[in-house]
């Protein structure tokens, strides 16, 4: 019984030594020796092991070692979880998808350009990779100078072998520009130009943890962080309907005769509000208006002003 306990204890000690090796003397097939530490491997069937020799990590073929040390290394690999040293080459090429010029008049002009990125990822990992998730964000700067993001996701089931590539297209980003002047004369002109900043992406491993983060070049991309891209609210807000209101500042710089006509969706939303029991403009049954002196706005008055649909 005592010998069995001792045997189990020795086996446990051997397991600890194999899973957490310290620097050890290894011998190659020609009898030459070196002091090194086993660091990692990519799988029990791998032919290469990473070692640490005097603080320098390197990959070494297992069959270069003596038969005795080869067996030691194989036993260590069986008891040690594999580690992939992920490495990728990432390229992003900007491409213009379309350009549409807006209505041009004596007082104003504008255009909308749509850009996207063709993203190519090359696997430089020495082993095949699979079950990866690629999150990418196209960054642009609007007229309010705030940074906007267009989101996209790609999944790589694999296996993606060494030097294999995957190419995909990012979400398109609209870039608007325009200029104009008020019919009221000098000093009331305006101009704006949105800008495309670049693309930022993250690659997640099979366990859902990030293994690579990359961004396209450009000085203004320094102000783009992944946390900001991940937390950005991409919903747009305007009036009742929740669309973008960046044009509002431009409208205020124009003359009254140049301002945009009410959006039909906003009018529909307002009509429904007036027809509901929650009409904030309607007086109560006693004729009180809560201290407001404005007229009692009714749906029929709304139809006379804007027409019925």
pLDDT of 22-55, one tens digit each?
789 999 999 999 999 999 888 888 899 999 999 9
Q: φ and ψ at 210, to 5 degrees?
A: -65, 135
Is 299 within a domain? yes
Is 242 within a domain? yes
220 contact partners, CB below 8 Å, separation of at least 6: 141, 195, 197, 198
> Are 242 and 271 in the same domain?
no
> Are 63 and 148 in the same domain?
no
Residue 282 or residue 231, greater confidence: 231
State the chain's mean pLDDT as an integer: 76
> Are 300 and 187 in the same domain?
no
Q: Which domain holds residue 42?
A: 2-79
User: Distance of alpha carbon 184 from its chain centroid, rounded?
Assistant: 45
Is-contact 96 115, C-beta < 8 A?
yes
The burial of 86, by beta-carbon neighbours within 10 Å (0-12 exposed, 13-18 middle, 19 or more buried), is given as middle
3-state secondary structure of 50: strand
* Orientation angle between helical segments 264-275 and 299-306, nearest 10 degrees: 160
Model pLDDT, residue 180? 84
Tell me the pLDDT band of 68, cut-offs 50, 70 and 90: very high
DSSP 160: B
Distance of alpha carbon 205 from alpha carbon 229, whole angstroms: 20
Highest mean pLDDT range out of 151-155, 218-222, 232-236? 151-155
Q: φ and ψ at 162, to 5 degrees?
A: -60, 130
> Are 109 and 249 in the same domain?
yes
Q: Which residues pair with 111 in a beta bridge?
A: 101, 177
Among the candidates 46, 79, 112, a domain finishes at 79
**pTM (two decimals):** 0.55
Tell me the pLDDT band of 19, cut-offs 50, 70 and 90: very low
Structure tokens at 266: 């906003």
Model pLDDT, residue 233? 46
Range with the poorest average pLDDT among 141-145, 253-257, 266-270, 302-306:
253-257
Highest mean pLDDT range out of 107-111, 257-261, 291-295? 107-111
Model pLDDT, residue 240? 39
Highest mean pLDDT range out of 171-180, 272-281, 299-308? 171-180
pLDDT at residue 309 is higher than 60:
no
Distance of alpha carbon 22 from alpha carbon 37, whole angstroms: 6
Q: Is the dihedral of CA 206, 212, 218, 223 positive or negative?
A: positive
Model pLDDT, residue 223? 78
Model pLDDT, residue 247? 47
> Are 195 and 284 in the same domain?
no
Model pLDDT, residue 181? 78
> Are 199 and 112 in the same domain?
yes
Is-contact 52 36, C-beta < 8 A?
yes
Model pLDDT, residue 179? 86
> Are 207 and 281 in the same domain?
no
Q: How many distinct structural domains can be found in the chain?
A: 3
Q: Is the dihedral of CA 196, 197, 198, 200 positive or negative?
A: negative
Model pLDDT, residue 255? 41
């Amino acid at each position: 019984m005592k010998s069995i306990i001792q045997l189990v204890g020795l086996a446990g000690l051997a397991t600890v030594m194999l899973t957490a090796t310290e620097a050890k003397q290894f011998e190659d097939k020609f009898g030459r020796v070196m002091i090194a530490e086993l660091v990692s491997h990519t799988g029990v069937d791998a032919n290469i092991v990473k070692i640490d020799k005097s603080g320098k990590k390197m990959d070494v073929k297992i069959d270069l070692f003596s038969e005795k040390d080869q067996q030691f290394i194989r036993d260590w690999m069986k008891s040690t979880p594999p580690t992939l040293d992920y490495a990728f080459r990432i390229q992003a090429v900007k491409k213009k998808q379309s350009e549409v010029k807006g209505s041009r008049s004596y007082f104003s002009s504008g255009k909308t350009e749509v850009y996207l990125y063709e993203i190519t990822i090359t696997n430089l990992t020495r082993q095949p990779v699979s079950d990866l998730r690629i999150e990418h964000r196209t960054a642009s700067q609007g007229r309010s100078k705030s940074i906007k993001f267009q989101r996209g996701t790609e999944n790589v089931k694999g296996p993606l072998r060494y030097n294999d590539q995957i190419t995909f297209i990012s979400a398109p980003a609209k870039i608007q520009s325009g200029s104009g002047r008020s019919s009221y004369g000098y000093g009331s002109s305006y101009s704006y130009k949105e800008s495309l900043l670049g693309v930022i992406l993250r690659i997640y491993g099979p366990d859902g943890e990030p293994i690579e983060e990359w961004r396209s070049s450009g000085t203004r991309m320094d102000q783009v962080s992944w946390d900001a891209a991940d937390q950005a609210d991409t919903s747009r807000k305007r009036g009742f309907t929740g669309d973008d209101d960046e044009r509002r500042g431009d409208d205020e710089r124009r003359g009254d005769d140049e301002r945009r006509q009410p959006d039909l969706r906003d009018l529909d939303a307002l009509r429904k509000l007036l027809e509901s029991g929650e009409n904030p403009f309607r007086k109560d049954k006693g004729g009180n208006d809560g201290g407001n002196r404005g007229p009692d706005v009714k749906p029929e008055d709304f139809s006379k002003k804007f027409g019925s649909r």
